[in-house]
Amino acid sequence: MSLSRQRRFPRARTSVGSARDFALDTLTEWGVSDRHDDIRLCVSELATNALLHGVPPGREFRVRLTVEGLLVRVEVSDSGGGCPVVLNPEADQCTGRGLQLANELADDFGVTEHVVGKTVWLAFKTGSAPVWLRVRP
């Protein structure tokens, strides 16, 4: 059995923090007790990238969380063009590390292109199943 929850966010700076809060609140409600910092940071990076590079004016982006067994999947989708790539910025560059960081923290990473837009997804292995999946005596 798996759980999934998604939410749409407007193209606004405040949406990054709201997306982070949504992810943490969802994981906490589901009883996923580890990898919170990694997941929250990665949601922040993916939401920021969606706002800066993907979401056209007047549109929204979507954050979706799925948990199945010991795996948490995070997806951020937008309707903009282009395909994100992991960069290797020089030490003195101030930007370009978001996907590199997410790729390092997550156990799996990818981009799914759609007819309109794309979904950047990350998978995180957790140490224990959510509370609702644990075997009860």
β pairing state of 71-78 and 118-125: antiparallel
Q: Which of 38-47, 98-107, 123-132 has the highest mean pLDDT?
A: 38-47
Residue 127's pLDDT band, with cuts at 50, 70 and 90, is confident
Domains and CATH numbers, the chain: 2-133 (3.30.565.10)
pTM for the model: 0.89
| pLDDT > 90? residue 12 | yes
User: Could you tell me where the DSSP H helices lie in the chain?
Assistant: 14-30, 36-49, 98-105
Residue 85's pLDDT band, with cuts at 50, 70 and 90, is confident
> Residue 18 phi/psi, 5° resolution?
-65, -40
pLDDT given for residue 96 in this prediction: 66
Residue 47's pLDDT band, with cuts at 50, 70 and 90, is very high
What six digits make up the tokens of 92?
Answer: 């003195």
* Those residues with Cβ within 8 angstroms of residue 66's Cβ, 6 or more apart along the chain or in another chain: 2, 3, 4, 72, 73, 75
Q: What phi-psi label fits residue 97: left (phi over 0), alpha (psi between -120 and 50 degrees) or beta? A: alpha
* Those residues with Cβ within 8 angstroms of residue 5's Cβ, 6 or more apart along the chain or in another chain: 26, 64, 65
